[in-house]
Amino acid sequence: MNAHNNETKATGTNAKPLDSTKLAILNEIGKGEHEESQLIEELASKIGISESEVHEQFTALVDRSFIETTSDRPCLRPSALSVLNAVKTDGRESSVVERYEDTKLRGKVTSGVGKGKHFVGLSGYKRQFQEKLGYTPYPGTLNIELDDESTVQRRQLDVICPIWIEGWSDEDRDFGPAVCHPVTITTDAGRTYEQVHMVYPFRTEHDQTELELLAPDNLRETMGLTDGQIVEVNINEL
């Protein structure tokens, strides 16, 4: 992909325009196709510039808070998504934002083993949920078993920076970090609940096929959900 000679102005505190090379780097990272170990080399090949130039531009994007490198792979912060949303596509492929706005995860409601209630109620997590999600979650999570297509789509969401819930310790043990993404849940009957977050503790027995959802209310009771019922989880952070 060759960069065009245009500049797009970033919003917020980093209002200096982004040049075509930086936009190309953001867009390529947003595709989620590049391994971390070969990221600079692959970006240089895709964009058509030297590896040293890619490294310099990538570092500048990190410094300006468009990219976060806290996790194993770089992810795009909201400021980057805002900029990419303003860029017109050439009609041959959808933009990063358009691809992820269309993400709809489908699966069936399942019963957990009760660990969600314990996890949500732990003081170090509960305090951060209140501060970072804006509400006190109902003590428990709604478990969704994803279909095969949605499992693949969920893995692709790693390119969007999550809400980080930091690990913490008490007198007895250490507790690992977790990540959250804001979502909306909808039943096949059209009932919708908007203030929901996917939560993924780093220390969990669940794999990528199962979602755990947080909300201020008991989602089972509020939405009349039963095991086996199909629901749709829409990514709504973009």
Query: How confident is the model over 142-181, as pLDDT tens digits?
Result: 999 999 989 888 877 778 888 989 888 887 888 888 889 8
pLDDT of residue 61: 95
**pLDDT of 23-54, one tens digit each?**
999 988 888 777 777 889 999 999 999 999 99
On the question of pLDDT at 7 being above 70, the answer is no
Residue 151 Cα distances to 88, 99, 229, angstroms: 29, 16, 17
Under a CB-based contact definition with an 8 Å cutoff, are residues 161 and 211 in contact?
A: no
Under a CB-based contact definition with an 8 Å cutoff, are residues 19 and 13 in contact?
A: no
Cβ-proximal residues to 12 (8 Å cutoff; 6+ apart), any chain: 79, 82
**pLDDT of 193-211, one tens digit each?**
999 999 988 755 556 788 9
Continuous segment of H or E residues that includes residue 145: strand 142-146
Domain boundary among 71, 100, 129: 100
**What CATH number has the domain bearing residue 202?**
2.40.30.30
On the question of pLDDT at 89 being above 80, the answer is no
> Are both 83 and 128 inside the same structural domain?
no
pLDDT of residue 35: 76
Going by C-alpha positions, the residue among 210, 91, 224 that lies closest to residue 151 is 210
User: In total, how many domains does the chain have?
Assistant: 2
In a domain, 3, yes or no: no
Under a CB-based contact definition with an 8 Å cutoff, are residues 28 and 80 in contact?
A: no
> Are both 167 and 69 inside the same structural domain?
no
- How sure is the predictor about 121, in pLDDT bands with cuts at 50, 70 and 90? confident
Q: Can you give the three-state secondary structure of 172-201, one letter per residue?
A: CCEECCEEEEEEEEEECCCCEEEEEEEEEE
> Are both 95 and 137 inside the same structural domain?
no
Domain span at residue 128 reads 103-235
Under a CB-based contact definition with an 8 Å cutoff, are residues 107 and 147 in contact?
A: yes
Q: How far apart are the C-alpha atoms of 203 and 206, rounded to whole Å?
A: 9
Q: What is the C-alpha R_g of the chain?
A: 19
Domain boundary among 85, 100, 115: 100
In a domain, 197, yes or no: yes
